[in-house]
Amino acid sequence: MAKMNRRNFLTAAVGGGLAMNAFLRGTTADQQAKQRIHLGVIGCGNYGMADIRAAFKAGGVAVVSLCDVDSRHLA
């Protein structure tokens, strides 16, 4: 497995975003409205919690995994 560095991470993230965009283009607006987005958060400090709050505010999101080096952020 390739060593994970910032470049590899960003490449994978952009690739995932492009794949999701291509997938959503093939569905109707009604199908998109029924789909629930599964969200995984890496880094649950201030910015991570702001992202989670924004996702819940937008609706249609289920947080399925959390990861942080500081266990106090996961409580």
State the greatest distance between any 2 C-alpha atoms of the chain, in Å, as a whole number: 41
Q: What is the pLDDT of residues 26-45, one digit of tens each?
A: 656 555 556 788 888 888 88
Distance between CA atoms of 57 and 73, rounded to whole angstroms? 20
Question: What's the pLDDT score for residue 24?
Answer: 62
Question: What's the pLDDT score for residue 30?
Answer: 58
Q: Hey, where are the domains in the chain?
A: 1-28, 36-75
Q: What is the mean pLDDT of residues 6-13?
A: 73
3-state secondary structure (DSSP) of residue 37: strand
Question: What's the pLDDT score for residue 1?
Answer: 56
